[in-house]
């Protein structure tokens, strides 16, 4: 018997017939019915091209162990209010290191009618374990980075059918289907059936039928949505990548203006967790996406020190879940110097903060010399996008200092050990 039966009532989400979070004492009634989530898309990842390169960060690669580590981490995440996470049958892009074009994480057969049993076994273990915890799994079927391995539209339709039939036959009740992750980006342009709104809407309808009536949606690229996709979806999935609080709010406002009375769930943004403010104020759900710790296999699925913990704390605090106080001094963390977290002798250095909105800018100094400045959250060295930064090649002697300028006029410093 399922422990977590996902449902909807109007624009609210339910588990076992009750609004989410309503069973947790002290939570704010206005946030009941939300589905706070994270992008753990590599939870069943494997690579048929060259798996040896994923033995890194001090971990020997094993796909089953990767899934097991995620399952082990879930109870801690739930304690802070995380109720759902996205996992992809075709994974996601490790944008900081290995080119996605060289990775073969496509579990579908050439014609899409069969799915790699090892992927399905890991997916079953993950969904079942999440169900026991009362958590929801957002199962993403198609990813643009693997779409070049899909021969044509027939293959794609067969893949959607095969995946949805598997989910139906196993009678999962805690699953939300995301037919495609960002259907209108990248290599999906070679598959009109996925890329264009009418096409993905037809695949959403196919998924509803083939899954036996599970809840279904599909996401577009960051800060975009299409009426056709929203109308076809049971739950409207949006992404916030590269958005500011204002542009993200504008998107939510405009989706609500469609007057569809459906839940709006962001299931991918970035480590820019001040977007939680917009989510709580608009009564919509938000999804944390940390490229660094959660999308570079082998991922560290735990609530790591710095940005992961600060997000978890802010999520819980916003929901009304009691969390321990964090001293002012502990609210700033110079990140990227964790043991073993290097690739090709590079590190990804950034300043994490519990309240990034209090920061005016962060100056970074390397061995006493000015190196870079970050004006916007996330406060990255070599900032490119809200979820992407360039790594810095290390030398034998590296002394880094972050000079943090607060809007209050106060100046703080943090150094690597």
DSSP characters over 6-73: EEEETTEEEETTEETTTTSTT--GGGTT---EEE-TTTT---SS-GGGG-BTTB---HHHHHHHHHHH
Helix, strand, coil share of the chain (percent; to 5):
35, 25, 45
Task: Tell me what pLDDT residue 122 has.
Answer: 98
The pLDDT confidence band at residue 2, using thresholds 50, 70 and 90, is: confident
- Mean pLDDT value across residues 202-210: 98
Cis peptide bond N-terminal to 355, omega within 30? no
**How is the chain split into domains, by residue range?**
6-319, 329-415
pLDDT at residue 163 tops 90: yes
The model's pLDDT over 325-373, given as tens digits with 9 standing for 90+, comes to 999 999 999 999 999 999 999 999 999 999 999 999 999 999 999 999 9
The model's pLDDT over 39-68, given as tens digits with 9 standing for 90+, comes to 999 999 999 999 999 999 999 999 999 999
Task: Tell me what pLDDT residue 345 has.
Answer: 96
Task: Tell me what pLDDT residue 417 has.
Answer: 80
The model's pLDDT over 60-71, given as tens digits with 9 standing for 90+, comes to 999 999 999 999
pTM of the entire predicted model: 0.98
CA-based angle 71:52:178, to the nearest 5? 45
Percent of all residues in the chain with a pLDDT value above 90, rounded to a whole number: 99
**Per CATH, domain 329-415 is 2.60.40:** yes
CA-based angle 264:144:206, to the nearest 5? 60
3-state secondary structure of 104: coil
What's the fold here for domain 6-319?
Answer: TIM Barrel (3.20.20)
Task: Tell me what pLDDT residue 276 has.
Answer: 98
Instruction: For residue 248, report the phi and psi dihedrals to the nearest 5 degrees.
Output: -70, -45
Task: Tell me what pLDDT residue 1 has.
Answer: 59
pLDDT at residue 397 tops 90: no
Contact 128, 173 (CB under 8 A): no
3-state secondary structure of 364: strand
Query: From its phi and psi, is residue 372 left (phi > 0), alpha (psi between -120 and 50) or beta?
Result: beta
* Burial tier of 366 (Cβ tally within 10 Å: 0-12, 13-18, 19+): middle
Q: Which of 369, 358, 360 is nearest to 397 (CA)?
A: 369
pLDDT at residue 105 tops 70: yes
Contact 175, 120 (CB under 8 A): no
- Mean pLDDT value across residues 194-199: 98
What gap in Å lies between CA 253 and CA 204, rounded to an integer? 23
3-state secondary structure of 160: helix
Contact 374, 382 (CB under 8 A): no
Contact 273, 315 (CB under 8 A): yes
Tell me how many helices (H) and strands (E) the chain has: 10, 22
- Mean pLDDT value across residues 253-275: 98
């Amino acid at each position: 018997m399922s422990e977590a039966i996902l449902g909807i009532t109007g624009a609210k989400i339910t588990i076992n017939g009750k609004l989410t979070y309503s069973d947790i004492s002290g939570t704010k009634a206005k946030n009941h019915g939300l589905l706070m989530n994270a992008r753990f898309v590599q939870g069943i990842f494997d690579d048929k091209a060259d798996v040896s390169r994923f033995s890194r960060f001090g971990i020997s690669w094993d796909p089953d162990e990767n899934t097991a580590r995620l399952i082990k981490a879930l109870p801690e995440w739930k304690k802070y209010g995380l109720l759902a996470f996205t996992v992809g049958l075709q994974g996601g892009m490790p944008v900081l290191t290995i080119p996605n074009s060289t990775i073969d994480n496509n579990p579908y057969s050439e014609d899409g009618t069969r799915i790699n049993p090892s992927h399905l076994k890991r997916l079953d273990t993950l969904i079942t374990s999440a169900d026991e915890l009362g958590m929801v799994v957002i199962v993403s079927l198609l990813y643009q980075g693997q779409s070049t391995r899909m021969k044509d539209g027939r293959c794609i339709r067969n893949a959607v059918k095969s995946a949805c039939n598997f989910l139906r036959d196993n009678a999962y009740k805690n699953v939300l289907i995301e037919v495609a992750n960002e259907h209108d980006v990248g290599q999906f342009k070679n598959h009109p059936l996925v890329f264009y709104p009418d096409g993905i809407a037809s695949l959403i309808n196919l998924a509803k039928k083939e899954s036996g009536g599970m809840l279904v949606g599909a996401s577009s690229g960051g800060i975009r949505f299409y009426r056709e996709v929203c109308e076809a979806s049971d739950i409207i999935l949006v992404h916030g990548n590269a958005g500011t609080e204002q542009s993200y709010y504008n998107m939510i406002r405009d989706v609500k203006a469609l007057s569809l009375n459906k839940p709006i769930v962001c299931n991918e943004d970035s480590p820019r967790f001040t977007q939680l403010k917009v989510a709580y104020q608009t009564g919509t759900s938000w999804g944390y996406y940390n490229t660094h710790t959660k999308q570079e296999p082998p991922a560290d699925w735990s609530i790591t020190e710095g940005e992961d913990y600060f997000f978890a704390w802010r999520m819980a605090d916003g929901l009304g879940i009691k969390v321990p106080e964090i001293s002012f001094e502990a609210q700033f963390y110079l990140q990227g110097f964790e043991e073993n977290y290097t690739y090709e002798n590079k590190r990804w250095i950034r300043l994490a903060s519990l309240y990034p909105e209090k920061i005016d800018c962060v100056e970074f100094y390397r061995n006493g010399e000015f190196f870079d400045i970050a004006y916007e959250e996330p406060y990255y060295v070599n900032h490119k996008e809200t979820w992407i930064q360039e790594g810095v090649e290390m030398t034998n002697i590296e002394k880094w200092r972050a000079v943090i300028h607060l809007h209050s006029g106060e100046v703080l410093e943090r150094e690597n050990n």
